[in-house]
Structure 1
Amino acid sequence: MLPLVGTSRLAASLRTIQSRSSYRRCLTTLGLRREDPTRIWERRTALTPEAVKQLLDEQNSGGKTKLKVEVESCLRRCFPDARYAEIGATIVPALSKDADVVLGIKEPPLEDVHRLVKSGDGDGKDRKWMMFSHTHKGQAYNTPLLAAFLSPTLGQTLIDHELLTAPSVGKDGKETRKRVAAFGWYAGAVGAGEALSMTGLALLKRGISSPLLHLPRPYSSGTLDDFKASLRRCGQIVRSSPPSSMGKSGPIVIGLTGRGNVSTGAEAMLNELGVQWVNSEDLASLKDTATNKIYACLITPQSYFVGEDGSPYDRERYYSSPGKYKSMFTERATNIETLQIAPHLTTIINGVGWSSRFPRTMTNDDLRSLISSAGGKQKLVAVQDVTCDKEGGFQFVNKFTTIDEPYCEGPGGILISSIDILPTELAADASTHFSSKILPLVRRALFPNVKEGDVAQETDTLQRAMIVSDGQLTADHQWLGGPVQAWKGKTSPLTGQSDSISVEQTTQRSGGKKKVLLLGSGLVAGPAVEVFASRPDVHLVIASNNLSEARSHVKDRSSVEAISLDVGDEVAVSEAVAASDVVVSLLPAPMHPQVAKHCINHGKHLVTASYVSPEMKSLDQAAKENDVLLLGECGLDPGIDSMAAMRILDRVKREGKQVTSFVSWCGGLPELSASNVPLRYKFSWSPKAVLTAAQNDAHFKWDDQIVTVPGKELLKRHFPSVRLWDDLPLEGLANRDSMPYASKYGLGEVGGLTNLFRGTLRYQGFSTLLDSFRRLGLLRSDTLKTVPDSWESFLLATAGRELNHSGVLSPGDLPGIMRDVLGSKQANETVEALQWLSLVPASSPSTLPIPNLRAPVPIDLFAHLLSHKLAYSPGERDTCLLHHSFTLSDPQLRSQQEVTASLLCYGDDNASAMSVTVGKTLAFAALRVADGLVRQRGVTGPYDREVWEGTLASLEEIGVVVEETWS
């Protein structure tokens, strides 16, 4: 790895601009680059002449010259050289080595960088480079560019425009980071213009002449105002056309996806055209409407994404488990309210980015089906992919197009456009917008101590955007050292000759430490980091999209580092995996298969705490062929439960006995003293998983009978008393499908077992009350028709819908209705709980605002309420409980024997019991893999002695002990 740069060093880089020798100048120089001449359409500039003049006037007032601006001569730039010369800039054929800050839009030609940074020439010049470098995701094609800024080059700092972010408060009141300088709006605006122009041509190919045919393309308008005027004129012509001017094809209908800056820009241009906006449910009815209107529709994910189980779109579930969703963009789902979208559109403008873990909006098969069902005369004639995701959300977009060749012809004669430099068609306007945003940061980079603007925020913004500082990778981008060194092993960026540095040699120089990559930095990460950090022969990299959270686990540990990583970025994940020896994933389970594929490709082992899914199991053969172990189920449940069972079963097998019954219980609960609340339960994480699990189907064997419990009956058919610990009043719920554990644990045939059961523990009263909440509609996953304005109106809306109540419920109706539905005793208890939760009028109403969700889903709103109302208070502890009960038979002695295994673990002030039992178990198992103590390969759980024996022993050393009793 390359040397790590700390925060103080970043700040120092911003505060000083000076040479490493005695060479000093009082004059600071800004160099404004011309863009790569091979990009013939790239006419943008990072600073307009007006912005340059503002800088010069600020710094050179009072007869004192502090700033010089060099502008590389460029005849293609949207502002001519003369404009810059007029305001005092120096026009140069190439930037001089005096440049302290080199500013451009996109990455420069490599030879231009080498000319200014070549080491060994005695220059020793500190210099900042600001650009969209396209390196921070590990883009392989720009590795030579990144390497040019790194040691042995001296004093170079690379600041990436894409990483310039500042705090922003979202609609939900949460602070996020928002891009400071970007071209997304202009990409959308120009993309809409290209889509409209292409639609006119596509319709002409169908034998239809429309006013769009004469709409000038954005670049030929010259300015945004002129282009808007062209759109308005075109719209007037459309509206004055005969109502049936386009024959039987119906009106032009444009579908726009996305709600970010790209889509906002496109929407603004469609408004200039004068489109009539409709909802997705109105699309089918437009077929016979007049054609002297152009219709447009903002297409939301709710209208075409559905769960694979037929459930409606849920935003939180979609982003956490995108693999469980599919697109119905070209057809209609039969069981829920999704609509046909694509068959009713003339044109699609796509403003939604895509990564491989998400379902595609339209696949190649979808398009073929659309064309086939219409006999080759489908309404869809044009697709403009503003995001330029090749074979992405729209799979048939399989090539990039250019401004001079803006479209290609796809299946069914559909015209397809995917231009990656759309904003440059309105270069002057786009540059003016960008220049206004970047100017304060350029000023701060040139003069770190200048008093204008927000000093702290601008400095912080520049620090976060640094990929390289003083010739070294910054902490957030340290992982890029691996790809750079691998590239250097083939070619030197400065000499073009073979370089002796290799990845293996770099590893040896770091002391030969075992490299563990920890994906995720959530609540169980802390205990896991403690385990890894205790090993002097392990170097841990915590990779997370929440860098501040990841850094909180580093503390003062020299063997632990944190990096920023978007798991949706396949290139970045691949590089991070390649630089590790063992990968440990705390990501949501649906993300594991994609990570596992990278592990297989690079020959790295993977350890997780999640159940082995069918998707993971399908990778078994590939993992074995590449000598890779994909080890799952190394947490608490699953994890410690299986390990404890396997330890007992190992002895059972050695003693020649047989299992005739297996019953297992596990649960995470508040300590009994903290359970005096509704549900007798508290949440340290999102409650939605608990609410969802309480509605899963269950399948098990009990008293020699196979039992199946539908999810809607699970709470009602709970086990009211589970006596395991004398002082704990427990009840239980069946936990999904217990039947596969006969083969997983080697228990024998299901027919030979009296009981085969796995259950979840709760305190008594949980199931009955939660079932009452379910019967009031609070656990439903479909969307309410209206957004409730209070928690009380939320309950009235869910209850009224669930009970099919005619009219509008009032608070006074609820007690009587609940007595009819629940019975008097349960109704009274439920009302008390609802009052405590502020869902019905109480003496102290809730001050928690109800989230303003576009799609109000009851289970999401209820989970949000519970996460606040039933959160742990300071000083309260949680507890994890595990209890196995085996009945054994001895064929020789013809006797039976009872064996139990129990765990009762409490949290403390430092960590919760759940985070310890999951995080440390995962870490101990991963270290056994890293140490080469697990020889098994392929996809498996902790069922092998090489895993469970050592992991349980390590847990016992820290006080997490599973106690066995053999009668």
Structure 2
Amino acid sequence: MVLTQLRPASRLLSLSSTLPPRPPSLSTTHLPRFRRSLATLGIRREDPRRVWERRAPLTPDAVRELAGTASVEVESCARRCFPDEAYKVAGARIVPKLTGEVDVVLGIKEPRLQDVRDIIDTDKGKKRTWMMFSHTHKGQPYNTALLSSFLPPTAGQTLIDHELLTAPTKDGSLKRVAAFGWYAGAVGAGEALSLTGLALLKRGVAHPLLHLPRPYSFTDLNDFKAALMATGKACADAPATQTGPVVIGLTGAGNVSTGSRDMLEALGARWVKVDDLANLPNSSEIYACQIPPSAYFERIAGGGYDRKEYYDQPELYHSMFAEKIAPYLTTVIHGAGWQPGYPRIMSNAETNNLIKAMGGRQKFVALQDITCDLEGAFEFMNQHTSIDTPSFEGPGDILVGATDILPTELPSDASAHFSRCLLPYVTRALQHADGKATAAADEIEATIKRAQIVLDGHIQPKHEWLQNKVAAYRAKELSAGKQKQILLLGSGLVAGPAVDVFLKRPDVSLVIASNNAAEAQSLANNRDNVTISTLDVSDEAALGKAVSQADVVVSLLPAPMHPQVAKHCIEHGRHLVTASYVSPEMKALNDAALEQDVLLLGECGLDPGIDSMAAMRILERVQHENKRVTSFISWCGGLPEASASNVPLAYKFSWSPKAVLTAALNDAHYKLDGKIQQVAGKDLLAEHFPKAPLWRGLALEGLANRDSLPYAEKYGLGPVDGLRDLFRGTLRYQGFSALLDSFSRLGLLGTTPLKTNWTSWPAFLAAAISEKLGTTIAEADVRATIHKVLGDKGKETIEALEWFSLLAPSTPNSSHAPPAIPNSTTPIDLMSTLLSRKLAYESGENDSVLLHHAFKLVPKDAAPGTPEQTVTASLLCNGTAQASAMSTTVGCTLAFAALRVADGQVKGRGVRGPYDKDVWEGVLDELEKIGVEVKETWA
């Protein structure tokens, strides 16, 4: 193994030997020629909601340089890294609020919208220049209002974005001239090292990095680097750990990466090459590796990496980072940019595969994403952090940091650097004050022109596409007097994630209508834009009134109630979205819905829902490639995680217990191996599929799921006669069907009320068996009767019945005591109540959702015997402490579909399922953003 050695002297690195890149040099002919001017520069205080933003765009020394060329107003701010008094001594006026007299308004980040309007409104006719990181030039929706405020009917405003201040380099490319990138990288490295110490502690290792203070606690860069040096020495002197050496991977090659690299140098990290990673010795030293794109991006076909080709045709490439590099890294400091359309460094699926392969004990424990691109290069980086809360737990307990104001942790140093870079451009902007032109045509002038998003009230040609964004925003503002009103009927097991999705939209007003006020209040959790309504849906007048006040109705009620709700929706012209199968009763309302221009959209849950959406996405590509389907086999199921399945039925309930039991009694109709099969509901459990080997390590079985044959038409698969297989099934753990079949044979799943009375659960069992057999069975004779009815299965069934408190047990069983006997007299209702208590999830237990499609394809005109192509789509979603997998996949799917309807993105009307692209495409995209990803493989 060859290591990239540091010279011994590097361990005595001078505290001043690493500094951020200097601003581009300007020849003397390009330096601004100051002239006396009455122009006024106003330096804003930063948005007070940004508690940690302590940077300043110009230092007091820079303000002193402007003396005699401009007057300067500085908004008073006790938080800023330079005190008011320093600016006052430098010649500035300290003001509580900028006046309308200022010609150039200067800040770091974007201001509050009201502050902009206050300045503009004091003198609406004045031409004024604004300089800031506006975060508008990419069409960022959260700042469209800010951009709009600089455009007509407001007159004379110019917006210069710091991020767009660029100058040409020797190779002709453009490089930013005023940036905090080096400091972002330097601070990001410090945060990453502190994060690593914490992550290792959570893994049981007390590493010296745990004692490295975070960068914001130091007075300046020199103090920070001194601490890095001391920490590096402590690491070198500490004994090696059993978990192996700390290895830091660094991506990117710009200023951000340079800042991080310089801090790792100060730490004394030993630099190694990518090829060394797999064979590093277990040393107490900290290893660091600069990882170029060529090390992990390669052509999908044939391998290799060509930089120009990669940037020209990124779709030809994929990432091998998770396989080749991530297994050997402790921490990643990510400083490389990413854009949509380019491959991710690690997708969610790749991350999960890495974690699964290592049994949740992967070496990779920390990510500091300095780019802060949500769901970007590292897809699991899906939320921003702050200096107050510097990390969140990602998959596999990876600690993730993504704070977008890192340089402010070293505010004085960062501001001094930025101020030196920015001062020439501020000076030139002051020379243009109030619309004055200059004759200069130099590098500074060209740089400013490139950075102008708005000039004198007009969006510049390069940014004209933003005009549509502004127009859409203004149109929305005009129509936003009334928010989108969504009525959620029901507050059960899957409602929580749906409510969370709705309430992330500030333009949504949600009403939760439920007969369980406490449950609904818990969902609302005192959040804005949500109200609670106590509603009994049997009260037709109250239901009609609630529906009439909504734009979209979302029903989580039992499926038999949906037609009742749908009729009110049709009457009042409101759209309805549900997660339930479209029943014949719903289909009968199609013409009435069409006549009233109403959409009744069903099957927007998991199964039905995500299963159909995932199938339609594949089938769109099948059609595009001029192929046809010869076989379609689909499985889906909600189960406890394997560790929570050691109970009778190997099942626990994260969904309606009665719905689960009822589904096991449905008739089934499907086609396998060219033969159409029909199974009566009473035989479904007995005729289950004993093995479904879809996921390694999971002992699964399956049940046929209702009538599969209509899906030939629903999915556009062609005639059933042309398909060898057409099957949809439900997944369970092995043993479920046999035991539930025994319960059915004993009358416990009956749907007819029992005629006898009872006062205990064992008495209910005796009554159910009596009703099933048509003869009276005394409690004392129940065990013998079970053995007689079930034969060899009797012993196992009796043990389960004891566990469920239906037979007096000889040993303690479930930790859940049986519930009080409800008023219902129908066996299936009583069993639903009992099982929901006895098979409830314990604290710390989670559920899983599994989905697997398998298609066989051939060219449309293929001759018999043509080899088939296999395409699969798989989803494995695990629940969390915050939400079950079932509630996430059903509730979020339902909410995303409803929001698309509310936003006018779904054009269909009448009774429909999620088979149109304007439904499934957007919903699948939103699900992937929250980690619910259906992964496709095309063999």
TM-score range, shorter chain: 0.3 to 0.5
TM-score (norm 2): 0.47
TM-score, normalising length: structure 1:
0.46
